[in-house]
Structure formats: structure tokens, C-alpha cells
Amino acid sequence: MWRPILFVLLKSEPDAKKTAALLGWLQMMGFNVQTHHNEEATVLELTGDNASLDVAMLRALDIVAEVRPDWVGEKPAPPYSQPDGIVAAGGVKFGGGDLQLIAGPCAVESWRQLSCIAQSVKAAGATLLRGGAFKPRTSPYAFQGLAKEGIKLLLAAKELTGLPVVSEITELSQLPLFENIDVIQVGARNMQNFELLKELGRVGKPILLKRGAANTIKELLLSAEYILAGGNEQVILCERGIRTFESYTKNTLDLSAVPALKALSPLPVLVDPSHGTGRAALVTPLALAAVAAGADGLLIEVHNSPECALCDGEQAITPDEFRSLAHSARDIWPYRYRY
């Protein structure tokens, strides 16, 4: 896991005053310190940015027995768990060896629209249904989503198809509405809404965290850390394109984020080629490239009538196109790069 962590094992029966001084100093350095005691030892678990920490100096303190980045199976194991990289959501598992395909419209527009798309993506092999009820739009005059009514329709589509559902939260006060939503999406614009992330750290539900258009891989991981630090280990990362000088595409899909995130973290990684390109014609090729690169799943915008979509129609593929995408993605899946 890319989580700057150090475990500081104290010598047995460490001096209380020196221990308190060490704790104070570490906290002053900006670390979050959790103390674990068991019969054999006291272990300080540090999370935070350890770039400026002088580990040699820490090791030299007379109450410190050892400093290590991980426990690697040694005793005494602190009561600490790393995310195992598998996120269960409404009967499906991200990172559990199966390809997860989240498909559906950018925005829930009506029951007629959603029920039609939901049934066709299910028949085409989607494993989860998406639909935005709260839409963070660049223009205040653009369709803002059906809000509460949109969530109601999405839950009705869940009932109709049996597919678990994914929807985006844009504000803390909406949280009660998400009680029966299987995966809560935090969109690119809210990747650094730290108060929202902290609150989602206290929710017992999977969080799909999208990378901000102008955020680095490290910043994405630090945002994930906000959720993990609150105790919610069900975090799914999503690459959705970043802003570059290229203007032919809406964003530049950074597929290097897949191997990078896989190397740095055990969390499942999804790719969203819809927002990553903004062009329907580019969605399938990049979706397949993402699967080949070892992504755990895809997030694809599908609309039964893209030219009439109230949101992101230019990047929506049709149910038929999605069927063929899903088919090819599953063909490639056994040959994907494995981490």
C-alpha cells in the first residue's frame, strides 16, 4: 500500500515520560499516531508524510527497539489491517479476479430512459449500473440532475435489474439519500473535498474515488487516504483523464496511472474512458487498452439515444456498442497484465 507508514516498536516497558515526549514530537511533525499495545510490545503506527522524518534518529532513541515500514508477518502483530484490495459492493467484488463493468447514463433523466438503458446494459454484460442524480456541471445553466428523484429512479432500476448501483455524491447533506446506493462515487471535482472524504471515511460503504482533472497520482492516493484513515477501507480508485494541452479530446486518459496505482496501492483501479476522452468513438479502444493494462474494471457511459442526452451525450456509447465493448473486454481479460 502506498501509505506512508512506519511502525515504531518500543522496547519493553518504555519510560512513560520519554514515550509521551516521543508521541508529542511525532504529532508535531504532522504524523497521525496510533498506539497499539499487546502482551509483548507497544507499537506506534505512524501515518502521514514521512519524507522529512529522520528514521536513523528515531532508531537511535533509547526507548525505540525497531522502526520498520511493515510487519511482514513478524510478531507481535498490531491490531492493524491493511486494505486487502478487494471491495465488495452489492454482490460483486472489485479486485477479486473478475472484471467489473459499470455502465449507464451520465445522468438519470427519466424512468423511460433509465429503465431502457438499465435493462440493455444488464443484457450486454454490465455488472453494475451507474446514473448521476446530482450532476456537478461546468455551467450553472446546464441540466443539474434530478436530485432526490434521480436516486429514487436509480433504486427502482436496481430493483428491476438486480444490478448494484453507483451514483455520485456532491455534498455531505445528500448522504442519507445514498443509504441504498451500493457504491458512492466521488467525482473528479470533489477529489479534494476533504471534509466530504473524511465523512465518507465513516461510512460503511464502497467509495469510488475519481482522480481530479488536475491532480497527480500521489494526490489521488492521499485523497484515498482520507477515507481509509477514517476506517473505511472500501475504496476503489478511478482514472478518468487529466487536463493537458490536447484539445481534440476532453481529457487525456492517463493509462500509466493503472500500473502506477497498482504498484503503490492494493486498492482496485478502474478506468473511465468516457470522461477520459469525451468522444464516443474513442471509448472502446481505450477501454480495451485499460483492460490489457490490468485495470480491475471500467466505467462506461451508455445512452439509448446519445444525441438526445441531457448530459455528456458526445461521449456516450449506445447499448449495442457497449455489448461489443463488453464482449471484447472479456476476451482480453485472461491476457491482461497481472500485478
Which residue in 182, 233, 254, 312 binds Mn ion (CB under 5 A)? 312
Least distance CB 159 / Mn ion (angstroms): 24
Among residues 3, 122, 158, 210, the one that binds ligand PEP under rule CB under 6 A = 210
Q: Does 250 bind ligand PEP (CB under 6 A)?
A: no
**Residue-by-residue DSSP string for 262-299:** HHH--S-EEE-HHHHHS-HHHHHHHHHHHHHTT-SEEE
Per the DSSP assignment, residues forming a β-bridge with 129 are 103, 165
Q: What, of Mn ion, ligand PEP, none, does residue 188 touch, CB below 5 to 8 Å by kind?
A: ligand PEP
Smallest gap, in angstroms, from Cβ of residue 57 to ligand PEP? Answer: 43
- Under 8 Å CB-to-CB from 20, ≥6 apart: which residues? none
CB-based contacts of 332, cutoff 8 Å, min separation 6:
288, 291, 292
Name residue, grid cell 444488464.
122
The one-letter code for the residue type at 168 is E
187 binds ligand PEP (CB under 6 A): yes
The answer to the question of residue 188 lying near ligand PEP (CB under 6 A) is: yes
How crowded is residue 297: how many other Cβ atoms within 10 Å of its Cβ? 26
Q: Select the residue whose beta carbon is closest to ligand PEP and give its number.
A: 187
User: In this structure, which amino acid lies at residue 284?
Assistant: T
Q: Does 321 bind Mn ion (CB under 5 A)?
A: no
Q: Which stretch binds ligand PEP (CB under 6 A): 29-37, 147-155, 186-194, 327-335?
A: 186-194
Q: If binding is defined by CB under 6 A, does position 132 make contact with ligand PEP? A: yes
Residue with Cβ nearer ligand PEP (11 or 205): 205
Rounded to the nearest whole angstrom, what is the least distance from the CB of residue 250 to ligand PEP in the complex?
9
Say whether residue 106 binds Mn ion (CB under 5 A): yes
Give the residues across from 184 on adjacent strands.
167, 207
Q: Which residues contact Mn ion by CB under 5 A?
A: 106, 312
